Homo-oligomer: A and B are copies of this chain.
Amino acid sequence: MVAALRRFVLAGILAAAPCLTASADDAERKTAEGLARAALSDDWSYKFLESLTSEIGPRLAGTAAEARAAEWAVGRLKAAGMEVHTESFPMTAWERGVETAAIVKPAPQRLVLTALGGSVATPPNGVEAEAVVFRTYADLLAAPPGSLTGKVAVVTERMVRTEDGTGYGMANPIRRAGASEAAKRGAVAYLHRSLGTDTHRLAHAGALNYAEGVARIPAAALANPDADQLERLAALGPVTVHVTLTPTERKDARSVTVVGEIKGREKPDDVVLIGAHLDSWDLGTGAIDDGAGVAIVAGVGRLIAALPQHPKRTVRIVLFGAEEMDYSGPAYEKAHAPEAAHIMMVGETDFGARRVYEMRLPAGAADNVFGRTIASLLPPLGVLLLPEPARRGGSDIQELALEGVPVVSLSQHGMDYFDIHHTADDTFDKVDAAELAQNVSVWTALTYLAAETDVDFRALANAASKP
C-alpha cells in the first residue's frame, strides 16, 4: 500500500514538475503541490476514520476503550510508514452512570440531560427539588448567597452560533464554573442548557471545574428543547424536577499519547509537530471530535513518509490522549519541555471535518519565502493565507505555545460544528469525504514545507515582536 502510494505521489510530483532546471525552492514547491494534489483524491484518511469510529467507537479518556484506540493507532501509524511509540501519563478517569431526569410538577415528563465530565453523583435515588430557572448566567451570578438553598439551579442561556466557535468559548463558564457558582448560593444540583447550537433532544457533554473550597454538587447539561421546556413552564409557575446522576471516578487511571515520526534527513532533532486528540467523549463515536483530526494528521504522516526522501526536519504526528478531560496539553508539555526549543512549529486540528478556509502562520512567516511558497499553493485549495499571525494553539498545544513554540493555525468552517460536538450525534456519517481530504491536502503541503525549509520560525517571530 505504501509502495503503491509512493508511485502515486511521485506521479503527481512529476506531472507538476515539467521544468527540469528548477531551483531547490522550486523542487520543494513542486513536491508540496504534488502532495496536496495526491491528498485531494485519496480516501485513506476517510477509511481510517471509518475504522476508528466503527471498530473502536467511543474512547473516553483513561478507559479500556481509549487504550484499545491507542493500540489500534499504533498499528495504523506503523503501517503508514512512521516510527511509532507511545507515552503514558497518570490521570483521574471519570465514567458516566445512570443519568435520568424528569419534570415532576406541574406535568410529569422526561428531561434529556447528560452529566458533566467530573461531576459528582447524586444519591442513588436522585435529588428532587424546585427548579430555579435563570435565563442568563449573569442572573445566576447576581443571585445572593443562600437564595438557592435546597434548589436545583438551572441556567438556560443559549450559546451563540458563530463560524469560528467564539460563541462556545464565551459560553464556556456556564458549563465550567456554573456548578460551583450555584453551590455557593446553596443549590443542591446544577443544570444548564447544553453548549450546543442544535435543536435536538441530545445533550452535549463536557467537563466542569469545581472551585476550591466550595461544595461539589452534581451537574448536567440539558438538551436544548428541554431547556426551552423548563423556561416555558417556569414562566407559568413552580416547577419541581428530579435528577439522578451516578457517575464514578477512578484516580489511578492512565492515558496514552501515540506518536508517529518521520525522522528528518538533515536535522532529526528539529521537529515540526502536528497533532489531534485520540480520546473522545463517550456519547458518540468521536468522529468530528476529534477522530477527524486524528485521521487528518495520520494522513499527513503517511503521505510524507511515502516521499522518496524524508524532509530535512523531523515530522512528528501526535495523537494526544485525555484532551477532553484537560490532561493532554499539560502532560505533553511536562514531558517535552526540555526539547521545546527544538520544536520548530506546532499545529493542531480539533474543529471537525469541514473544509479549511483560512491559514495563519507564525509571526513573520507570511512575508517570508516560506509564506510566499505556501501562498502560491493555496488558491486551488480554497484557502486564504492571512497576514495576521496565529496567536495561540488549541488545548493540546497551548502549553507548548506558551513555551514559545511557533504556532500555525488553520480555520475550518464551523457554523454547524456545535450542532454535533460532544453529543451522541458525533458519528461517522456526519463526515464528508471530500472535505476531510481537503484538510489532509492543506496540512500535508504546510507540514512538508515547514519540515523541508531552513526558515527559523522562532527567529522570525522574535524579530517580528521587536518594535
Q: Which residues of A contact B (CB under 8 A)?
A: 50, 54-58, 65, 68, 103, 106-110, 112, 199-202, 224-225, 228-229, 232-233, 236, 283-285, 423-425, 427-430
Contacts and interface: CB of A to CB of B under 8 A. Distances in A.
A109 B285 contact: yes
Contacts of A108: 57, 65
Contact of A68 (B56, B107, B283): B107
A167 to B, nearest CB: 18
A429 B224 contact: yes
Nearest to A54: B232
A201 B54 contact: no
Nearest to A235: B54
Nearest to A226: B427
Contact of A229 (B54, B65, B202): B54
B427 A228 contact: yes
B54 A423 contact: no
Contacts of A107: 55-57, 65, 68
In this complex, the member of A50, A283, A425 whose beta carbon has the largest number of chain B beta carbons within 10 angstroms is A425
A165 to B, nearest CB: 21
Given A54-B233, A233-B54, A284 B106 contact: no
Nearest to A53: B229
Contacts of A55: 106-107, 233, 236
In this complex, the member of A57, A225, A423 whose beta carbon has the largest number of chain B beta carbons within 10 angstroms is A225
A65 B109 CA distance: 9
Given A54-B232, A232-B50, A199 B429 contact: yes
Contacts of A284: 201
Contact of A228 (B112, B425, B428): B428
Contact of A109 (B50, B58, B202): B58
A201 B423 contact: yes
A228 B50 CA distance: 11
Nearest to A109: B57
The copy count of this chain in the complex is 2
Nearest to A423: B201
A229 B106 CA distance: 40
Nearest to A224: B429
Contacts of A201: 202, 283-284, 423-425, 427
B427 A225 contact: yes
16 contacts: A54-B233, A54-B236, A57-B109, A57-B229, A58-B109, A58-B110, A65-B109, A109-B285, A199-B425, A199-B427, A199-B429, A200-B202, A201-B202, A201-B284, A228-B428, A229-B427
Closest 8 CB pairs of A and B: A57-B109, A201-B424, A225-B427, A54-B232, A201-B425, A199-B429, A225-B429, A200-B425
A429 to B, nearest CB: 5
A224 B425 CA distance: 10
Contacts of A58: 109-110
Given A112-B424, A201-B424, A202-B202, A228 B429 contact: yes
Contacts of A233: 54-55
A109 B65 CA distance: 9
Contacts of A425: 199-201, 225
Nearest to A112: B424
Nearest to A199: B429
A283 B111 CA distance: 10
A58 B201 CA distance: 14
A54 to B, nearest CB: 5
In this complex, the member of A109, A233, A236, A284 whose beta carbon has the largest number of chain B beta carbons within 10 angstroms is A109
In this complex, the member of A55, A68, A201, A233 whose beta carbon has the largest number of chain B beta carbons within 10 angstroms is A201
A447 B57 CA distance: 54
A103 B229 CA distance: 33
A321 B103 CA distance: 24
A54 B68 CA distance: 44
A357 to B, nearest CB: 24
A257 B265 CA distance: 81
A57 to B, nearest CB: 4
